[in-house]
Amino acid sequence: MATRTQHAKRNIITSVINKLVIMLANFVMRTVLIRYLGEIYLGLDSLFVSILQLLSLTELGISAAMVYSMYKPLAHNDTPAVCALLKLYRTVYRCIALAMTVIGLAISPFLPLIVKEDLPDGMSLYILFYINLANTVMSYIFFAYRSALFTADQRYSINNNIYSIFKVGSTVAQVLVIIFFRSYYVYSIILPLTTMAKNVAAYIISNRMYPQYKCEGSVSKEEINNIKKRVAGMFLNKLSFVFRNSLDSIVLSAFLGLTELAKYNSYYYVINAISGIMILVSNSVTASVGNSIVVETKEKNYDDLKKLQLLYMWLSSWLTVCLVACLQPFIKLWVGQKMMFGDGIMFIFCIYFFTTHFSRMCYMYRQAAGLWWQDRFRPIAETVTNFVLNIALVKILGNVTGVMFSTIFCIVFIECTWGTRTLFKHYFTQEKQSKYMLKLLMYSVITTAAGAICYLICGKINLEGIPAIIVYGIIASVVSNVIFAVGTSFLPEFRPSIAFALKVVGIKKFQIKK
């Protein structure tokens, strides 16, 4: 039987491959949209994604709560319990799909309020919205509930592989439609068809891998009450996350227009694509962490957290410095000078990227430990603060920095500080939050120093295009990794973290010197 480390390794590898596929597919799709239809269509595409992310709040965090509920029965081979949870999951997802349809139809009359009078000629905002709504609804029906088995059983790699295959297929079809027919309508219709086919494929595969799990039986009232509490807490967590990522685009569209939104999203796409890889890496080990929380001691789990935190911040630091060096030449090469911001706004995007990963490991452990209910007030405060600051700052500053400053403020001073407190108050009760926070501050200082040094070095080298990206990327990689390694080498978890990372990639003979 595969160990947690082996599952984590497999999940991480497929997650990275999956995200690279998504990045390449989205890059090709965005490039084709800009070239053949124009940047306004790109802004429109981003707007629909943001609106429907808000609409997906209907899901209320059911998926994460149900996966958490499956950790223990799967670990103990309790088939009747898994079957009962699966049946409950199916019923809830059908209700979600119905509710999402009703809410989507109810809000559709208000769509013109968030488009700043630059909708492409001949385009029906309503038809496009209904197509995208259908795609979102499809993601919750046609056996979507079965994919929870893969995640809870530490087989997230199966979900990754299925998604990669269908992502490539849908992208090829969409590119051909845009190039040969120039039809944004047909391009949009491909999305719900692909989602439906993907869910059916997941159902067939899960039936073959887990034939013993059928939708039958009933969940006890006590367990249903526990799930309700987790769902309520998870909904509030999801509320802040979705608002953080979607409200920016909606506010920009309403106040600055689709063209400015498209420009903003060219930068956001790059950092979000890289963030996606990192988040998938953390998601890939969440089930293993959840399993560890069930069977291991808190002391063992805290040691693991320290190792994972150092490695994750190392990765975050490296990629942030690479963005400082390479983001501007990449944007110029990809979409041209007219779609570029100045270096000042570029730095803000890099800070935004780093802060979004600031406490990702803490969030992962809160999720694996099921602390959503205990964390229920923080997301409310974050959402309200972000909403107010978003509108106020975009009016005051009149550009994209307003929405970004508000998000950075909420991440650092609410999500990180408050969220970390929840984990240490309710799970790592014997450890000190202050030591954890000081390490996060130290990682931030190291990253800032590395980014500044790299920017000064690259500024002395006058290159453009692909040569600039290659040379600047090499400089950033060397500078960031050397500075981070030197800056953290004194930490007691440094050598165990290196050993753990080497073990994950298959180097088992690494010895830790005492």
Q: What is the pLDDT of residues 172-216, one digit of tens each?
A: 999 999 988 888 888 889 988 998 888 888 889 988 888 888 888
**What is the predicted pLDDT for the residue at 316?**
93
Q: Which two tokens stand for residue 308?
A: 């994972």
pLDDT at res. 510:
47
Rounded to 10 degrees, what is the CA torsion of 147, 153, 157, 160?
20
CB 261 within 8 A of CB 43: yes
Residue 386 is predicted with a pLDDT of: 86
**CA atoms of 152 and 363, how far apart (whole Å):** 18
Instruction: List, in order, residues 6 or more apart from 147 with CB less than 8 Å away.
Output: 159, 199, 202, 206
Amino acid letter for position 372? W
pLDDT at 202: 87
For 366-376, b/e burial (b = at least 16 CB within 10 A) is bbbbbbbbbbb
Q: What is the 3-state secondary structure (H, E, C) of 400-447?
A: CHHHHHHHHHHHHHHHHHHHHHHHHHHCCCCCCHHHHHHHHHHHHHHH
Res 35: pLDDT: 81
Give me the half-sphere count of Cα atoms (radius 13 Å) on the Cβ side of residue 240: 28
pLDDT tens, position by position, 313-364: 999 999 999 999 999 999 998 888 888 888 999 999 999 999 988 888 888 8
Tokens coding 489: 């080498």
Q: Compute the distance between CA of residue 509 and CA of residue 240 in angstroms, rounded to an integer.
A: 43
Which regions of the chain are under pLDDT 70? 1-5, 7-8, 46, 49-61, 116-119, 233-234, 236-245, 258, 280-281, 283-284, 286-287, 504-514
